[in-house]
Structure 1
């Protein structure tokens, strides 16, 4: 096309010069004829350029370019063909967009598109049902202004979207919704919202059942253990053949009491999102107390237990809950570390928050077990857990305590070299002196 334009332009200029020379030959004024011809051609070219400028300034998307002649006719024709091609491309793209919008509109799950600042760009009809979004007045609004739950605001600002968030619906507290954010494009966000009310109800029924059964079993088990203790305190009046049986029953009764206590604690932790006694907790003294208890638990195994505290940062939260979580990690290290092994407890803080790590030189854990360690009753080795008196609930308690204190748990382990359990707390939970 460029070569054709060049050839056409050259032909037009040669024809113009030839015509001017012919007129100059007839009139005898070669210079004036050539100047007049070039002036007329320049004026015509400027006129076509102005027509093009006016069309570009005022044209509508479907309005074709003006008609033209010669070289400008080819320019306008090329623009027309480009315009038609772009219209076809836009039509195909619009058809794809309409198809996507129709398919997402049919979903029961809400689909919401947010810009990089978290402002609403587009959503389907399910978003209006689940979150109460209104079209078009909510367009461009920050999503945190419309979903005002404090946990959602923290979830959005922390930008850690690995796990979904479950909260009540902004328009109906009886509806539970699960939100999952995903980044795409230029740091934009895609938010998926699902109604999980039925699943939440089933989960709540399970929790209530476990809590009620645990509470009902606690009284008869206390009575049984009390009578067993009384019988063993008066072992002289008991048939010697029954002594060993009574001792084993007392041992297993104690294990059942520990299990019930852990189940009741879990039920209490799951009942609310935040600790009721949210007060400053002196972590250094708390860890020192736990270390002393761990040394007593270690007994004659000659384990080396060290505590390293860097700084004097405290945590906002419940001291009993934090004691339960930290002691579970430290006591697990004591139970599963061989005699003469090493256990290191470290507490420190930095710009990312506060951290507690418990490192042991025990047998380690295979990588396939690590994702499930915080599940209830999950045991890497059931026989080993039985020998150590474990219930399989310790790490589940740790997980729920950390969730209530805006913390996370990282587990790193190498078989034969030991394990490291690290608790990370957000800066908002840390109190610096």
Structure 2
């Protein structure tokens, strides 16, 4: 504040001096004007020096000055130094980030808010074929033109990764994951999972081949056991008991092989050829009859149909998924339980639900229920004759129908298995 007071006094003194000189020579107004003009010239000269310093030599020391201008020059110089240090620190951080990204085996591509490519590491050049001289500033979908990636990019639902072939090497399988950050910008990462993909293919082929090879000997074995069963009354009691157990285990193995073959087909075959609008009332009533036959009167099984539209899908696959859920409810709920099969409107489409009021499931098991052969209670599951593949089949069927499975259950409060289908899968009954 003292500097400003001095500047005000300087202005007043110049004005008073000019006025005094003008009064002496009988031109007081002219003298005042000359004094003010001298003050203006002084400040214009300091302003010129400021402009020259900032435009020509901003890195150099500021011009020498006193008063307010000296204080202004010093403050600007300190601010500039602080900004330079901050900029150097940020550039150092960016350089380290780029160096660490270069050291990664995964591809990293930085996209702006429009989806244009700003920067990428060398792994992206190797996996995606990016070239700095040609591709910088181009939209990512100009490079990755697969319709599945374009849909993945524009839907903005990046919770799950996307698996595609490399655009430059059909033998390379990549897993893409997009992350949103900053001002609607995106970070695209691509990981080479070729080896994992081949191992998965080998596993599927192995399971499919072994299951197929087991089917014939099991059929033969079951046929002979059925023949021997007709003479069970002629066998000693302990032989009859053993024959009955062999039949049970053979039937269980046949169910296991059938489920493994179905899973293999769901994984390998893309499907879609047999999709048609399904009359859900007929489907639910059919599954209700099958579940009632399995229950043999031990449960109350009901159907609730609220959603009037049909579901576009494979009748065989949807029936398999719904049957697995309904049969699980029959197997794993105590006698007298109530089981409800529902087709109801959902938040973004429609839900196919199976709900029971049984013992429920501890939430700690829910994330793993769709894994193959995962059992909450191994002893009880073995006793019911389940294969441990039912929910895995449900999961794969839903994936082939753009749907997902949600499980809501707590101990003592029953369980609800909901298959959430998008609105695109619904058709009017008249369609």
Counterpart residue number, 1:75: 72
SS of residue matched to 2:172: strand
In structure 1, C-alpha distance between the alignment counterparts of 2:380 and 2:57, rounded to whole Å: 75
The alpha-carbon distance between structure 1 residues 317 and 170, as it changes in their structure 2 partners (threshold 3 A), is: farther
After TM superposition, give the deviation of residue 239 of structure 1 in Å. 4.6
Q: Distance in 2 between matches of 1:312 and 1:19?
A: 97
Contact kept, 8 Å, 1:377 with 1:392, in 2: the verdict is yes
Matched residue of 1:409: which SS? strand
What runs of 5+ residues in structure 1 fail to find an aligned partner? none
What does residue 135 of structure 1 align with?
Answer: 132
Rounded to whole Å, the distance in 2 between the matches of 1:72 and 1:431 is 77
Task: Please give the secondary structure, in 2, of the residue aligned with 1:183.
Answer: strand
Q: Which SS does the other structure have where 1:380 is aligned?
A: coil
| Of 28, 39, 42, the match for 1:41 | 39
Q: With the length of structure 2 as denominator, give the TM-score of the two structures.
A: 0.90
Instruction: Give 2:323's aligned residue.
Output: 327
1:14-93 aligned at under 5 Å gives the runs: 14-24=12-22, 26-46=24-44, 49=47, 59=55, 62=58, 67=63, 71-72=68-69, 74-93=71-90
How many angstroms does 1:18 deviate by?
4.2
Alignment check: 8 A CA contact 2:62 2:77 kept: no
What secondary structure is seen at the aligned counterpart in 2 of 1:137? helix
Runs (5+) with no aligned partner, structure 2: none
Q: CA deviation at 1:395?
A: 0.4
Residue 212 of structure 1 and its aligned partner are, at CA, apart by 1.1
Q: Does 1:178 align with 2:172?
A: no
Aligned-pair CA distance for 1:416: 1.1
Pair 1:427–1:214, CA change in 2 (3 A): same
Judged with a 3 Å threshold, the aligned counterparts in structure 2 of structure 1 residues 331 and 155 are, in CA distance, closer, same or farther, namely farther
Aligned partner of residue 416 in structure 1, secondary structure: coil
Distance apart, 1:15 and its partner CA? 3.3
Work out whether residues 402 and 409 of structure 1, in 8 Å CA contact, stay in contact via their aligned partners in 2: yes
In structure 1, C-alpha distance between the alignment counterparts of 2:290 and 2:388, rounded to whole Å:
21
C-alpha deviations, 1:40-82, integer Å up to 9, x for none?
32355456557767887xx379576985755445434533442
Matched residue SS, 1:333: helix
SS at 1:358's partner residue? strand
Query: Paired residue for 2:97?
Result: 100
* Kept in 1: contact 2:111–2:188 (CA 8 A): yes
Whole-Å separation in 2 of the counterparts to 1:34 and 1:242: 132
Asked whether the equivalents of residues 50 and 63 of structure 2 are also in contact (C-alpha less than 8 Å), the reply is no
User: Deviation digits for residues 122-172 of structure 1, max 9, x if unmatched?
Assistant: 222212222223325333433334223333334334433333222222222
More deviation in 243-252 or 157-166?
Answer: 157-166
Q: CA deviation at 1:217?
A: 1.0
CA distance in 2, matches of 1:142, 1:310: 45
Distance 1:280 1:402, change over 3 A: same
The reply to whether residue 263 of structure 1 matches residue 242 of structure 2 is no
Counterpart of 2:427 in structure 1 is: 431
Which of 238, 241, 246 lines up with 2:243 in the alignment? 246
Aligned length: 428
2:335 aligned to which of 330, 335, 339: 339
Give CA-to-partner distance per residue, 1:308-334, whole Å, 9 cap, x none.
122332233322111111111111111
Q: Does 1:306 align with 2:302?
A: yes
By how many angstroms is 1:236 displaced?
4.9
Q: Kindly report the root-mean-square deviation, in angstroms, between the aligned alpha carbons of the 2 structures.
A: 2.6
The verdict on how the C-alpha distance between 1:395 and 1:80 changes in structure 2, with shifts beyond 3 A counting, is same
Matched-pair contact (CA < 8 Å) for 1:105–1:125: yes
CA contact (8 A) 1:175 1:197 kept: yes
Q: Is the contact between residue 359 and residue 420 of structure 1 (CA under 8 Å) also seen in structure 2?
A: yes
In 2, Cα distance between equivalents of 1:51 and 1:318: 81
Partner of 2:232: 235
Partner Cα distance (1:54, 1:314) in 2: 77
Structure 1 193/337 Cα, relative in aligned 2: closer, same or farther at 3 Å? same
Aligned to 1:189: 186
Distance 1:402 1:241, change over 3 A: same
Rounded Cα–Cα distance in structure 1 between residues aligned with 2:178 and 2:315: 33
Given the superposition, is the C-alpha separation of residues 146 and 368 from structure 1 closer, same or farther in structure 2, using an over 3 Å criterion? same
Aligned to 2:5: 7
Q: How does 1:349-368 map to 2 (within 5 A)?
A: 349-350=345-346, 352-368=348-364
Cα pair 1:131 1:171 within 8 Å, conserved: yes
Match of 2:276 in 1: 279
